[in-house]
């Protein structure tokens, strides 16, 4: 069997190697303004660096917004119909909005392993496992970070490639080996909102964006959160709901 991605060879977990409290698991109701969320996330990371706060995963939804990572190109902003924010995370342009579960993941990799690639791999494994619980097969791709699903129901690429859609995006940053920013899983967002950008800089005609709802999976956010929490514990260790 040929591996689709070299990251498939990496260990799918990043469990703590040192004793410590469980990861604080928090979910916010309603929509959280993007700038407000980033300010709170940055403040929490600073407290973690000072030894005054636990690791945390923060689940939320944003109002419609486009965010640009450190590799974003202005030419990929096609229609700024929503507010645009430049961020310090890795990656290019993406969209956040209602129906998308964003998880800001603040972990101390010194407790786990100081390996950024292994961390991204573990995030992908977390998402792939969560999708499997909804009957969706998510996969990694070598030059495309995130989680993809094959779409044989869509037109092939120019060389006969099977169409694929991204269902979950990953954009992270490390500061003193503490992670922040995180992942975004498309549950039931308005997919037309992605047309204002070139998502993650991917221009190939056979590569698009999808969601659980688009794939025919009816799942509410509470179901998604429960699955994410259980699968996160498998990949990263115990959590405590706050």
Does the annotation mark 200 as catalytic? yes
Residues 6+ apart with CB under 8 A from 39: none
- In contact, 6 and 119? CB cutoff 8 Å: no
Would the annotation count 18 as a binding residue? no
Is 170 assigned to a binding site? yes
Q: Tokens representing 77?
A: 């902003």
Q: Identify the residue whose tokens are 């698009």.
A: 208
Q: Is 82 annotated as a binding residue?
A: no
97 is in an annotated binding site: no
224, exposed or middle or buried, with CB in 10 Å at 0-12, 13-18, 19+?
A: buried
Query: Distance between CA 217 and CA 221 in Å, rounded?
Result: 12
Q: Which of 5, 121, 156, 200 is catalytic?
A: 200
196 labelled binding-site residue: no
Whether residue 184 is annotated as binding a ligand: the answer is: yes
Q: Are 136 and 167 in contact (CB under 8 A)?
A: yes
Q: Say which residues have a Cβ less than 8 Å from residue 227's Cβ, sequence separation at least 6.
A: 130, 133, 134
Q: Does 157 appear as a known binding residue?
A: no
93 annotated binding-site participant: yes
**Inter-residue contact 29 to 58 (CB < 8 Å):** no
Say whether 102 counts as a known binding-site residue: no
Checking phi first, is residue 57 left (phi over 0); if not, alpha (psi -120 to 50) or beta? beta
95 is in an annotated binding site: yes
Does 92 carry a binding-site annotation?
yes
Annotated binding residues for substrate, written as ranges, equal: 89-96, 169-171, 182-184
Which residues sit in the known binding site?
89-96, 169-171, 182-184
Tell me which residues are annotated as active site: 200
């Amino acid at each position: 069997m040929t591996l689709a991605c070299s990251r498939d060879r990496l260990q799918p977990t990043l469990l703590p190697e040192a004793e410590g409290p469980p990861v604080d698991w928090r979910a916010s109701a309603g929509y959280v303004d993007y700038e407000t969320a980033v300010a709170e996330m940055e403040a929490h990371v600073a407290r973690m660096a000072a030894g005054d706060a636990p690791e945390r995963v923060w689940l939320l939804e944003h109002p419609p917004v486009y965010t640009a990572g450190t590799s974003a190109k202005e030419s990929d902003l096609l229609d700024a119909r929503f507010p645009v924010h430049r961020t310090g995370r890795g990656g290019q342009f993406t969209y956040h909005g209602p129906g998308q579960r964003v998880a800001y993941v603040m972990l101390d990799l010194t407790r786990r392993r100081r390996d950024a690639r292994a961390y991204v791999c573990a995030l992908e494994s977390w998402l792939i496992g969560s999708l499997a619980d909804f009957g969706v097969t998510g996969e990694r791709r070598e030059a495309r970070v995130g989680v993809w699903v094959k779409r044989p129901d869509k037109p092939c690429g120019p060389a006969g490639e099977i169409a694929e859609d991204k269902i979950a995006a990953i954009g992270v940053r490390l500061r003193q080996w503490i992670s922040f920013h995180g992942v975004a899983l498309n549950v039931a967002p308005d997919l037309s909102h992605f047309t204002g950008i070139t998502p993650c800089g991917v221009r190939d005609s056979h590569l698009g964006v999808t969601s659980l709802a688009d794939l025919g999976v009816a799942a509410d956010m509470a179901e998604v959160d429960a699955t994410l929490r259980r699968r996160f514990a498998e990949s990263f260790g115990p959590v405590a709901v706050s």
